[in-house]
Structure 1
Amino acid sequence: MSGIGCIIIALQFSRMFGHEPEGGGTIPALTAIPGAVMDPNLVALGIAVVTLLIVFKWPKTWGKIVPPPLAALVIATLISLVVPGAPILGDIPTGLPSFLMPSFSQDTLLIVMEAAIILALLGSIDSLLTSLVADNMTRTKHNSNRELVGQGLGNMAAGFFGGIPGAGATMRTVVNIRTGGQTKISGIVHSLLLLAIVVILAPLASQIPHAVLAGILVKVGYDIIDVSYLKNAHRGPRWDLALMVLVLVLTVFVDLITAVVAGVVMGALAFVKQMADAQLLRMGGSREDGQVEYSDEEEALFARAHNRITMFDFGGPLSFGAAADLGHQVRENSRGRGQALILDFSSVPFVDVSAARAVETIGCDADSAGKKVFISGMNDSVKAVLTGLSADCCLTDENYYSKRIDAIKAAVAYIEGSPNEGGSVEIGASTQPS
């Protein structure tokens, strides 16, 4: 949302100096700033300064009676009537539109349907983002279904009068909340006021200077920017800072939808990477690290094995992020360490295809190295995935045990039946839930 705040300020900056950016978008607005600063309209600049002083310094006790933006709008407009020279809104179309019945043909139907679906998706995303901003500011929870159904009905009705589709407006929502709006009545009042301007108040609204609205919107943009986070962002994780900068730049110089998609994708990849690193880091641990607690009976069994059991405890779902290195980690941590390998799946609720293939690699590598694999605590769904993908080709039914203690006992019995003095007891505990 900080990017939206920066866009609002950039779009209005030149207008505070009495200039209108050539063309729409953020880049034309930014390129127009130097020229506007070098050649200001002093009347417009003075009105903008008065507006900014009011919206930033208006006493809170007065704000309960008259909101700062409304006070700035009235006072600065009256000043412009006394001291003319600032650009104003000018003529505003009045009257209500006529009812229009849409017509379709075979040539236009597909084009209309495609445009309607795209606009519906973009409008839905925009409205839900605005709702999240409002939730964060009001500490409430919106009803997404109600918001989207209401928006759809409103856009359908507007279409019969030649209206264009609309969505939730972040700027107006923030202004509404910042000025004390707490219920849905505030939105209704806003709509009624716009209707009054279109019908009878257009002559009055036409006298409002651009600089007044620019000053009010600069305050809106400042309120949207998360200043407290930006001050402390450098103290947080470097990846989060880089992601924030990326989303901010895309929002300002490309568009909000692209920034949201890029942010979600990059954030998801970062999360997968962090979870995979945590899984593999714990996989490299040993029994002495204390990452997994074992009962006295289990410790006694390990001692009986004379350091010839390697055990890995998977502490959560096995994700594709860690699957690529999972087989390598097990192979490296069990190299030259005993004759038995125990894989504890007690805390693994599910596996994906990549993780199943990693388990297959572990089993086949152990079989090639002459090691016996024992699996404990694997639930039916995980076993079904392995069986369905033939990932258990190097495992047999006698490899599976419902409890970890049973797998350890079987491993000890196997070792005592074929003694070998090499190896050590190593316990790697894998995965936070991903």
Structure 2
Amino acid sequence: MNLFHPKLLNSFKGYNGALLSKDILAGITVGVVALPLAMAFAIASGLKPEAGIFTAIIAGGLISVLGGSRVQIGGPAGAFIVIVYGIVDHYGIANLLLATAMSGVFLFLMGLFRLGTLIRFIPVAVIIGFTNGIAVLIGLSQVKEFFGLQITKMPAEFFQAIQTLYAAADTVNSTALMLSMGSLVLLISWRAFQKHLGYLSHIPGTVIATASATIVTGVFNLPVATIGSRFGGIPSGLPSFEWIPISWGTAQFVIAPAITLALLGAIESLLCARIADGLIHDRHESNQELMAQGVANVVSPFFGGMPATGTIARTVTNIQSGASTPIAGIVHSITLLVIILFGAPLAKDIPLASLAAILIFVAWNMGEWKKFADLKQFRLPYRLTMLSVFFLTIILDLTVAIQVGLLLAFITFIYRISSLSRYELASAADFPELEQHRGYVAAFRIYGAIFFGAVKILERIENELPSKVLVLDLKNVIYIDVSSMDALLELEEVCKNQGIKLIVCGLAHQPYEMAVRGGLLERLPVDSIYPDLHHGITAAISDNAN
């Protein structure tokens, strides 16, 4: 049971009526905020608006009940739009549901095997690159509705999408454009002056923009696409459980998309949880959060839901509204359920142009554009990694972008760590006795980590061998890997073949354990191992004198 311990179980210590009131009010606020966003994310992903709402209700509730964060709000997220749209376009909605459930299994296993902390090792350059790339693609996907263009279906690929938008440029709906522009201006203005609005400042701009655009569209019967005209409205109730057809023949085609969904969901949820930790001065349980995300993504598709993860905007809103426990997230799901049970008919007049403006606003705010403006202050490898991931995300695929980004980051890391590893010849100033034995005895100090990327250090020492005794000081070596141990064994063999005695000094901790496991200590005589360089050089000079 220690492996599965939701934060909710620890939230009732010292809990009282005042905290409950704050959680309820925060949950209601976030529920109202989540409604237009959930619908917008679903529509932009090529799904019906109710798919987003059902996901926010079911997956959002499960994430709050089972999660490892006290205040994180789960549900459909903008980061998934591009991936989900591509899956729907290539594999169909049925296979999206299967891929979502499979991603849930992967997420649960990641948490079960304690892999949550590994997600933190993904470099910031990779995260910024794909986040900004996704933001661009979200904005591009909303151009059609923002301008009211007459396009039957938007392609998932970047260049085809650009070509399609260009071909339909002369079909702009001026009414839809005015409505979307008005919504965008309202969103920006509300954000800019929200602090000066008194009590109204608690109402999110997305709710104001959606409500205003809906009222204007309904009152004036504007000739624009709405949820009612496009989808026939939203159902006033939750869907029934429906089994997803599962077969190996189908599953094997969506393994790659499922892994992408799981990886992206893990990154988004844990990134969101870390942001929440900084705001509430708490620490989330990353592995528990992944298991909760896994359960939510396994269950949600059986009720027509889409992929879910932690959502930064709604989580921050939840915290700012006074939430302190997962109760607020549960109330957020109940609020959405009540809204669709009693207010579903009101959604039919929500214009898609207004939702497009909201998504463009969300995309702009989710991107870290300042990092691009400050690129000059970063090193070339950092810039190369960030820009590669950014452009590959836009042009090719998020999976390819992350793979290339991690590869570049991996190469950069190896290069930098290997550059920190070095060796130097022990000087006569430190050991005057070496001067009399120059050419016969050589002592080298090695610093840093000796791993496969720094094996060249041992190869260079091999080219500088003395004629009688070689002393290696490993006191300042913090790590040795298998490749480097093999290289040390090869150096020992070379010394043996040339009649040179090898003395090793300063082995401690991990290098010592590696020397034992690699068999180096078995191959060296007892009088070839010393605790420090001073004793090693003394023994070497004595051997040479003899």
Q: What TM-score, normalized by structure 2, do the two folds share?
A: 0.63
1:50 aligns with 2:182: yes
Residue 60 of structure 1 corresponds to: 194
Q: How many residue pairs end up in the alignment?
A: 398
1:217 aligns with 2:359: yes
CA shift digits 1:47-81 (9 cap, x unpaired): 11111212222212236232222222222333333
CA shift digits 1:291-325 (9 cap, x unpaired): xxx9x8x53444554575432222233211112x2
1:331 aligns with 2:462: yes
Aligned positions of 1:9-408 closer than 5 A: 9-19=139-149, 20=151, 22-27=153-158, 28-58=160-190, 59-61=193-195, 62=197, 64-81=201-218, 82=220, 84-90=222-228, 91-97=232-238, 99-100=240-241, 102=243, 123-135=261-273, 137-138=275-276, 139=278, 141-155=283-297, 157-158=299-300, 162-164=303-305, 166-168=307-309, 170=311, 173-174=312-313, 177=316, 180=320, 183=323, 184=326, 187-188=329-330, 190-279=332-421, 282-283=422-423, 285-287=424-426, 298-303=430-435, 305=437, 309-323=441-455, 325-332=456-463, 334=464, 339-379=468-508, 382=511, 385-386=514-515, 389=518, 395-408=524-537
> Retained in 2: the 8 A contact 1:96–1:199?
yes
> Retained in 2: the 8 A contact 1:14–1:37?
no
Cα deviation, residue 331, structure 1? 2.6
> Retained in 1: the 8 A contact 2:418–2:449?
no
Aligned positions of 1:413-428 closer than 5 A: 413-417=542-546
Cα deviation, residue 186, structure 1? 5.8
Cα deviation, residue 361, structure 1? 2.7
- Distance in 2 of aligned mates of 1:162 and 1:360: 60
Instruction: Give the 3-state SS of the residue equivalent to 1:348 in structure 2.
Output: strand
CA RMSD of aligned residues (A): 3.6
Q: Higher relative contact order at CA 8 Å, sep ≥6: structure 1 or structure 2?
A: 2
Structure 1 residues 187 and 117 mapped into 2: Cα distance closer, same or farther (>3 Å)? farther
Which consecutive residues of structure 2, in runs of 5 or more, have no partner in the other structure? 1-130
> Retained in 2: the 8 A contact 1:351–1:382?
yes
> Retained in 1: the 8 A contact 2:443–2:471?
yes
> Retained in 2: the 8 A contact 1:175–1:220?
no
- Distance in 1 of aligned mates of 2:542 and 2:448: 28
Which consecutive residues of structure 1, in runs of 5 or more, have no partner in the other structure? 289-293, 418-434
Cα deviation, residue 95, structure 1? 3.9
> Retained in 2: the 8 A contact 1:131–1:142?
no
Instruction: Give the 3-state SS of the residue equivalent to 2:453 in structure 1.
Output: helix
- Distance in 2 of aligned mates of 1:408 and 1:146: 54
- Distance in 1 of aligned mates of 2:453 and 2:521: 21
Cα deviation, residue 45, structure 1? 1.0
Structure 1 residues 313 and 287 mapped into 2: Cα distance closer, same or farther (>3 Å)? closer
Larger Rg: 1
**Given residue 366 of structure 2, which amino acid in structure 1 is its aligned partner?**
I
CA shift digits 1:316-372 (9 cap, x unpaired): 33211112x23322134x25x664321112233542221012112322333445543
> Retained in 2: the 8 A contact 1:364–1:394?
no
> Retained in 2: the 8 A contact 1:18–1:36?
no
Residue 427 of structure 1 corresponds to: none
Cα deviation, residue 271, structure 1? 0.6
CA shift digits 1:212-249 (9 cap, x unpaired): 11111111111111111110113311111111122112
- Distance in 1 of aligned mates of 2:207 and 2:526: 77
> Retained in 2: the 8 A contact 1:124–1:167?
no
- Distance in 2 of aligned mates of 1:196 and 1:250: 42
> Retained in 1: the 8 A contact 2:468–2:500?
yes
> Retained in 2: the 8 A contact 1:76–1:212?
yes
Structure 1 residues 76 and 165 mapped into 2: Cα distance closer, same or farther (>3 Å)? closer
